[in-house]
Amino acid sequence: MQSNRFSFHRFLNESRALLRLSFPIIITQLAISAMGFVDTSMAGQASARDLAAIAVGTSLWLPASLLLRGTLMMLTPVTAHHRGAKNQTGLSVDFGQTLWIALLSALVLMAYLDQSENILTFMNVDPEVVPVGVGYLWALAVGVPGIALFYTFNGFLEGMGDTRAPMVMSLLGLLVNIPVNYVLIYGKLGLPELGAVGCGWATGIVYWLMSLMMTLYITTRHRYKVYVVPQLMVPRSKRMFELFKLGLPIGINVFVCGSIFAVIALLIGKLGANHIASAQIALNFSSMTYMIPMSLSFGITIRVGHALGQNNTTEARLRSISGVLLAGMIAMVSSSALLLFPDQIIGLYTNEPEIVEMAAALLVFTAIYQFSDAIQAAANGALRGYKDTRTPMLLACIAYWGIALPLGYTAAMTDLLIPAMGVRGFWVGIVSGLTLSAGFMVIRLIRKMRSA
């Protein structure tokens, strides 16, 4: 009989299982991020105006996409619970309701993107850039339903413990995205040269393709097609609202976490080009290292949700603790790399002496918050497994928008507390906010484990 007590041996076993599950998620996230990198780099080769159009278009699309992605993420713990409980009917119903939520959300986002010209004009964006940015967003709007469906299928498959299929689809999407971008941006094969607008069409085409591949995969494999029961997937407004209430706090949580860095980047713009460049280096490299604990958090959600679906609260507790500890250990590796190899990391971006000096100072702060960032992500993932989403959302809002941003702005731009620190002041705020968030999430998780 297996012991219910936490032990090093059980930690190793759970860590191996979690890493096997999470590794494809890491690749999936890298592939999706790489699509954005490809869009930016290829549009930049077309013209400065096209690059600027991608930048302003992304400023409108990214917050909305984070909210959409986070809201639909609720399907992962819901599916894991049903799978653990062997509740086939409940799984089919909730899969269908989430598909309806995805399509309705897509219509709302399409209407939002349709107003992009008014929004960009109100923001006083360069009139030369506005038409291209609007064209990019209108083209992207056509692909929004495909994007929403892909997020939904991804959440379903991850909840079923199948993380390899989304990985394969994402890698194929990345491979298709490059030539489609090339043809549409530069006007090859007899097509008109669309520039940044071509990026919007390419993104939409690729996501529709990935959604089609996901649909074929789910409906042709016996393991999954038994859950595609049309009479169980018709709209049920009450259940849709319940799922939306579960998912919206996750969406707001993801939005809050992602948008604060965008706001800080905008505020740093007042400090000059070198400050912007040094901050961009630290933020960009930090975003890449964050993909590991973020992907682990998805795996923790699946593992914890599955255990709770089996009514095995002891196993859920062990999986939560193991996931948080593993995330912390991995963060120590990334933190050490930042402290030991700053010159090599910065050298990937620039050799300008002044930028190198400022970026090196920011990487020290970045190394400090690696641990707290990983802990809060892992604990948040475990809480999603417990279907606890509203309180973590409120805690994240307090930590990021109530502490990190005001403190960072005060330390960076004013003399209220100490002489203005410049860009480093924002990193003081980030470290403080993430540390507070990690403490909040761990305390909340402990209480949730004790009450379950």
Query: Are 384 and 73 in contact, with CB atoms under 8 Å apart?
Result: yes
| Domains: count for the chain | 2
- How far is 146 from 212, CA to CA, in rounded Å? 8
Is 336 in the same domain as 255? yes
Question: Is the domain of 149 the same as that of 260?
Answer: no
Both 221 and 326 in one domain: the answer is no
Does 91 fall in a domain?
Answer: yes
Maximal C-alpha separation, the chain: 71
The pair of structure tokens assigned to 323 is 């996931």
**What interhelical angle do 237-268 and 75-85 show, nearest 10?**
140
Do 258 and 190 lie in one domain? The reply is: no
Residue 13 in any domain: the answer is no
Please report the pLDDT score of residue 1 as a whole number.
41
Residues 155/73, Cβ–Cβ less than 8 Å:
yes
Are 157 and 252 within one domain? no
| 29 and 164 assigned to the same domain | yes
pLDDT of residue 270: 65
Tell me: do 170 and 259 sit in the same domain. Answer: no
Kindly state whether residue 3 falls inside one of the protein's structural domains.
no
Radius of gyration of the chain (CA): 22
Amino acid at site 35: M
Q: Does some domain include residue 6?
A: no
Chain-centroid distance of CA 183 in Å reads: 29
pLDDT in tens, the chain (452 residues): 455 677 788 889 999 999 999 999 989 888 887 787 777 667 767 776 777 777 777 778 888 888 999 999 999 999 999 999 999 999 999 999 999 999 999 999 999 999 888 888 886 767 887 888 889 899 999 999 999 999 999 999 999 989 999 999 999 999 999 999 899 988 888 888 888 888 889 999 999 999 999 999 999 988 898 898 888 889 999 999 999 999 999 999 888 887 777 777 667 766 666 776 777 678 777 877 888 898 899 999 999 999 999 999 999 999 999 999 999 999 999 999 999 998 888 887 777 888 788 888 889 999 999 999 999 999 999 999 999 999 999 999 999 999 998 998 898 888 888 888 888 888 899 999 999 999 999 999 999 999 87
Is the residue at 259 inside a domain? yes
Quick one: which of 264, 266, 273 has its CA closest to 369? 264
Domain's final residue, options 235, 264, 279:
235
Determine contact, residues 157/166, Cβ cutoff 8 Å.
Answer: yes
Same domain, 258 and 168: no
C-alpha to C-alpha distance for 349 and 399, rounded to whole angstroms: 30
Residue 17 lies in a domain: no
Which of 235, 261, 293 terminates a domain? The answer is: 235
Q: What are the residues whose beta carbons fall under 8 Å from the beta carbon of 253, sequence distance 6 or more? A: 70, 380, 389, 392, 393, 396
| 158 and 113 housed in the same domain | yes
Measure the CA–CA gap between 291 and 327, rounded to whole angstroms: 11
- 347 within a domain of the structure (yes/no): yes
Residue numbers of the domain that contains 170: 23-235
Is residue 8 one of the residues assigned to a domain?
Answer: no
259 and 154: one domain?
A: no
316 lies in the same domain as 452: yes
Q: pTM of the full predicted structure?
A: 0.84
> 228 and 271 share a domain?
no
The Cα 29–Cα 250 span in angstroms is 18
Question: Which of 204, 235, 266 corresponds to the end of one domain?
Answer: 235
